[in-house]
Amino acid sequence: MQSENTCYICQDNPLDKELIYDVKIKQCYHMECLKEQSIKKIQNAITSVDDI
């Protein structure tokens, strides 16, 4: 079980990043981590479309 003040994406809490708490999923995350995760999902979607 992870603590409430840790990013669920990178599993870390560096002091230089601001944690954002998402009420819907009841987890914290860093905006930078969310951006990186979204970019990876988009890149994966683009490459999987190319395979079709």
Q: What are the pLDDT digits (tens) for 4-49?
A: 689 999 998 877 888 999 999 999 999 999 999 999 999 999 888 7
Burial class (CB in 10 A: 0-12, 13-18, 19+), 7: buried
Burial class (CB in 10 A: 0-12, 13-18, 19+), 30: buried
Instruction: Report the 10 Å Cβ neighbour count for 40.
Output: 10
Q: What is the pLDDT of residue 24?
A: 95
Is residue 1 scored above 70 in pLDDT?
Answer: no
Residue type, 22: D
Q: What is the pLDDT of residue 51?
A: 64
Q: What is the pLDDT of residue 3?
A: 55
Q: Whole-prediction pTM value?
A: 0.69
Q: What is the pLDDT of residue 36?
A: 95
